[in-house]
Structure 1
Amino acid sequence: MASWGDLAAYIRATYDVISEQEDEIRILFNFEQFSEDDDRTQVIILVREVLDKLHEWVQIASPIGLAANVDLRALLEEVGHSTIACGAAIMGDHVVLRHSLPLVDLDIHEFTDPLALLAGTADQLEEQFFGGDNY
């Protein structure tokens, strides 16, 4: 990938885009592509970030539930023990998992693998800590 525009074109061609703004694309990640019996989905927000007004990055984030409705210590301990390609944050009212990648020399697998890992982890933590599949 060379730019946000290149990545955005790939995302549009590959994933189910549910909304799009200039520097943000929301997709519905469908786990059915990995298992025909899995009808769960996960909302993923892809945002163009610019570091030091020079370097384009993509932030991959997924909301998993309301921060007010969870034991944050237990959630963060689970994230610390079981995740590889994401960290947890509170954005607005929501707990999100997120991961960021520089775009300049990004190979497509350096995007798709963390995206799939983040989506799967978000789906699992959402079920474990919030009891459903709301995002």
Structure 2
Amino acid sequence: MRVTTWTDVINYVRVRYEVMEDTDGWVRFRLDTRDDRNQQVTMHHVTGDDHVDWVELSSPVGWADKIDLRKFLELSGSSIIGGAAVVDGVALLKHTVPLSDMSIQEEFVAPLEALVHRADAMEHELTSSDQF
């Protein structure tokens, strides 16, 4: 069985998506969604307390001080993917997947696309804009 590495995931993203920023340990990129909308995603390489490597995906929904946070939490709670967070004043939908033994197509792309489409729909509902 082939072990998937952080480099494998980064290379997959670089080839398929518009990379906006790429630094050691994280990448920010953009995906097209629907109706000429697009959505940013940040992907971090993180190591858990158990020394297991993970890929953390996050996609912004809006500025926390400009959206209804209660509605944001309610919408997040009704999603089968992702969890709500606020980081540096930005409301995010986040999801984490284990890196080792990852099938990029099934265990990375499927959650990535689900997260992006959900975050975009939430952004549209909460802000009526496409800022992120």
Q: TM-score, normalised by structure 1?
A: 0.90
1:1-135 equivalences under 5 Å are 2-31=4-33, 38-52=35-49, 54-81=51-78, 83-108=79-104, 109-135=106-132
Quote the Cα distance in structure 2 between the aligned partners of 1:59 and 1:14.
18
Structure 2 unaligned spans of 5+: none
Q: Which runs of 5+ in 1 are unaligned?
A: 33-37
Q: Map Cα deviations across residues 6-61 of structure 1 (whole Å, 9 max, x no partner).
A: 111111112111110010111111126xxxxx311000000100112721100000
CA distance in 1, matches of 2:116, 2:91: 14
Normalized against structure 2, the TM-score is what? 0.92
Count residues with an aligned counterpart: 129
Cα distance, 1:115 vs. partner? 0.4
Q: 2:89 corresponds to which letter in structure 1?
A: D
Aligned Cα root-mean-square deviation (Å): 1.3
